[in-house]
Amino acid sequence: EDQVTQSPEALRLQEGESSSLNCSYTVSGLRGLFWYRQDPGKGPEFLFTLYSAGEEKEKERLKATLTKKESFLHITAPKPEDSATYLCAVQTQGGSEKLVFGKGTKLTVNP
């Protein structure tokens, strides 16, 4: 069974304090790994899709990396507006477009 585990469940940072969120996965065959940001009361906002080990993608203060077993979302010099829940999801080979999600990491950045 495909599984996605995110850690930590919650993370508090001071503004400017860089850190990383982890997403480990167990799948039969990875087609893509997705990162989303979700603000309270809103739907998930698409950030990145990674496809193969060694791939990296960046957007503003966020950088996502992928290995064969896990992905990291690095947050550099975060600001309070980066506070949100970050979701990781995998899409497996086999033709289905289905995404399997982790439970998310709730990030709080204090000013």
Partner 1 sequence: SAVISQKPSRDICQRGTSLTIQCQVDSQVTMMFWYRQQPGQSLTLIATANQGSEATYESGFVIDKFPISRPNLTFSTLTVSNMSPEDSSIYLCSVGPGHEQYFGPGTRLTVT
Task: Give, in order, the Cα–Cα distances in Å from 34 to each of 59, 79, 81, 99.
Answer: 14, 22, 21, 8
Rounded least distance, CB 77 to partner 1, Å? 26
Rounded least distance, CB 110 to partner 1, Å? 23
Contact 61, 83 (CB under 8 A): no
Measured from the CB atom, the residue of 49 and 76 that comes closer to partner 1 is 49
Size of residue set near partner 1 by CB under 8 A: 24
Binding flag, residue 32, partner 1 (CB under 8 A): yes
Q: Which of residues 51-90 bind partner 1 (CB under 8 A)?
A: 87, 89
Contact 47, 37 (CB under 8 A): yes
Q: Report the candidate in 43, 45, 19, 18 with the shortest Cα–Cα distance to residue 34.
A: 45
Rounded least distance, CB 13 to partner 1, Å? 22
Measured from the CB atom, the residue of 31 and 76 that comes closer to partner 1 is 31
